Structure 1
Amino acid sequence: MLAAYAATVNSQDPLSALEVGDIEAPQTPSDWETVTLSAAALNHHDVWSLRGVGLREDRLPMVLGCDGVGTTSDGEAVVLHSVIASPGWDGDETLDPRRTLLSELHPGTLAERVRVPRRNLVPLPDGMSVEHAACVSTSWLTAYRMVFVQAGVRPGDTVLVQGAGGGVATAAVQLGAAAGLRVWVTSRDESKGERAVQIGADRAFASGERLPGKVDAVIETVGAATWSHSIRSLKPGGTVVIAGTTSGPEPESAELTRIFFQQMRIQGSTMGTRAELGQLLSFMADKGIEPVIDSVRPLAQARSAFQAMIDGDVFGKLVVTMR
């Protein structure tokens, strides 16, 4: 089958580790479901895998991809939940210490077919396009959990989203605006800030710019480069929800004095549950939310999508189709 896969790993030149071509997928449990994929989307997780982060060399070659939408053998249109719980695990899949994501232990979604546990299938809502549904399982589910489960915000509250343009950031903007939150964003790129306003943000600011007021919560996926600004922008008693460190995990200052003195809450967040994926899809269908898509390419041209993600020249999701 045609797939985009890590043939090797290279921490300095991740694109050199990528192959797009025919591959025979490794074996998966016999009771898993085969899904013929229609579309999938890229995430930073895929680039980290090519760098060798979270992907051991003894698991190569490995089909990449966490997001996907397709059709089961009995014709059911489904969205894939990419968190694979360990056998016998019952409860929140994200808390399973032995959990993996598709493309870490088992082949991922950047392929013509994928096999997953039946419990990882969620019905595709009527009327939702496969391109939009392909965006949801990783960055959108991450944003949904950050905003609605971990942040503790209510309609009318102000939320700061650091780093407008990425998949989680654009999802947080669209979801937050649809739920009645006032969403502020920051970006190093003025044009990306303007586009964030077009999709629902109330205001956009330059990275590190002093805000006109304190916020109730911060959606933080950038890490070291924005950490101090996140803490200094937060109201006493507010919450920073962190789900990524794309600029690195070690800020110059941890801001511990400000955090304890102002009784701030630092909340980690990872992905989301299958139940939350179902809730997210229902919310999007009810509100008519369509994920921002940067571009759509055929799977055979996946290399150019990876190049765009590595270069950072992206606003919204990078989608590939299997047609």
Structure 2
Amino acid sequence: MLAAFVSTPAPKDPLSVLEVADRPAPEAPDGWTTITVKAASLNHHDLFSLRGVGLPAERMPMILGCDAAGLDPDGNEVVVHAVIASPDWQGDETLDPKRSLLSEVHQGALAEQVVVPKRNVLPKPAELSFAEAACLPTAWLTAYRMLFVKSGLRPGQTVLVQGASGGVATALIVLGRTAGLRVWVTGRSEEKRAAALALGADQAFETGARLPARVDGVMETVGEATWSHSIKSLKPGGVLVTSGATTGFNPGAELNRVFFTQLSVIGSTMGTRGELESLVELCRVTGIRPQIDVELPLARAREGFERMLEGRTAGKIVFTV
């Protein structure tokens, strides 16, 4: 079957080890099922995997990709939850010390087929296309958990989203607007800021710009490049929720501001199957949909990876099968 995969890590030149070619079709063990993939979306996690971050060489070759929507063996339209918990784990899957994401231990979703635990399969509403549904399990679920589970923000408050154009950031804009929050964003280019405003952001600023007022909350996925600005942008008692660090993991801590102004810094990772179920229903009921930057056939996966590596994104990159 056709798949996008990596056989050896390349920390400094990730695209040099991206392969799009045939791989053996997967076999589902007991308790697992085979999903025929119709659409799969790209995440920064996939670039990290090409670099060998979280994916040592001994686990390769590894098919990339966390997110998929497709058909189960009975022909039902489904969405795949990407967090693979231990077989005997109960409760929040993201707290399982032995959890993994698809493409870390088990072969991933950028392929014609993927095998997953049966409990990781959810019904896909007819109202969502396969491409839209494939955007939800990582980026949109991450944003949903950050806003609705972790932040404690309420309608009418102001939230700053750092980095306006990525998959999580665009999801945060749409979800924040739907929740009645005042959404401010930062973006590196006028084009990215304009796209954020078109999605529903109230105001857009250059990266690192002084804001007209401090905010109640910051949603942080960029890391080192924006961390100091995020901390300085918060009101006393404000909350920063972080779920990623695409520019690096060594932020200036700004600890004096954290304790003097009594800020809350909260980590958030992915989301549970139940939260994904709630997110899918929210999209169905309200009509909100993921912002898709581009749809490409899986055979042209390299073009999508290049767009992400170069930062030429305005939403999710989706591969169709």
Amino acid at match of 1:282: E
Q: Deviations over 1:222-253 (max 9, x none)?
A: 111111111111111111000111111112x3
What's the counterpart of residue 260 of structure 1? 259
Aligned to 1:284: 283
d(CA) in 1 for partners of 2:267 and 2:31? 33
Alignment correspondent of 2:58: 58
Task: Provide the rounded CA distance (Å) in 1 between the counterparts of 2:234 and 2:284.
Answer: 32
- Asked if the contact 1:41/1:318 (under 8 Å) is kept, the reply is yes
Supply the AA of the counterpart residue of 1:272: G
Maintained 8 Å contact 1:8/1:18: no
Once the two structures are TM-superposed, the CA of residue 100 in structure 1 deviates from its matched residue by 0.3
Q: Distance in 2 between matches of 1:249 and 1:77?
A: 38
* More off after superposition, 28-37 vs 212-221: 28-37
Q: Can you list the C-alpha shifts for 1:161-207, whole angstroms capped at 9, x where unaligned?
A: 00000000000001110111110000111210111010010000011
> What residue number does 2:319 align with?
320
Q: Deviations over 1:137-167 (max 9, x none)?
A: 1010000000111111111111000000000
Say if 1:63 and 1:103, in contact at 8 Å, map to a contact too: yes
**1:247 counterpart SS class:** coil
Contact kept in structure 1, 2:35 and 2:72, CA below 8 Å = yes
State whether structure 2 residue 270 is matched by structure 1 residue 271: yes
Identity of aligned residues (%): 59
Is 2:208 the counterpart of 1:195?
no
Following superposition, the deviation at residue 66 of structure 1 comes to 0.5
1:126: how far off?
Answer: 2.4
Deviating more after overlay: 98-107 vs 285-294: 285-294
Separation in 2 of the partners of 1:310 and 1:187?
A: 16
State yes or no: 1:78 paired with 2:78: yes
Which digits, 9 at most, give the CA deviation of each residue in 1:238-278, with x for residues without a partner? 11000111111112x31101100111000000000000000
Would the aligned equivalents of 1:143 and 1:168 in 2 still touch at CA under 8 Å?
Answer: yes
Q: How many residues align?
A: 321
Match of 1:295 in 2: 294
Please report how far the alpha carbon of residue 31 of structure 1 lies from its aligned counterpart in structure 2 after TM superposition. 2.4
* Kept in 1: contact 2:219–2:241 (CA 8 A): yes
1:101 is matched with which residue? 101
Normalization by structure 1: what TM-score? 0.98
CA contact (8 A) 1:28 1:106 kept: no
Q: Structure 1 residue 76: deviation in Å? A: 1.2
The aligned counterpart of 2:208 is: 208
| Equivalent runs, 1:122-137 vs 2, <5 Å | 122-137=122-137
Give matches, 1:87-236, under 5 Å: 87-236=87-236
The letter of the residue matching 2:208 is G
1:284-314 alpha-carbon deviations (Å, 9 max, x no partner): 1111111111100001110111111111111
SS in 1 for 2:213: coil
Distance 2:55 2:129 in 1: 31
Q: What's the C-alpha RMSD, in Å, of the aligned pairs?
A: 0.9
Gaps of 5+ in 2: none
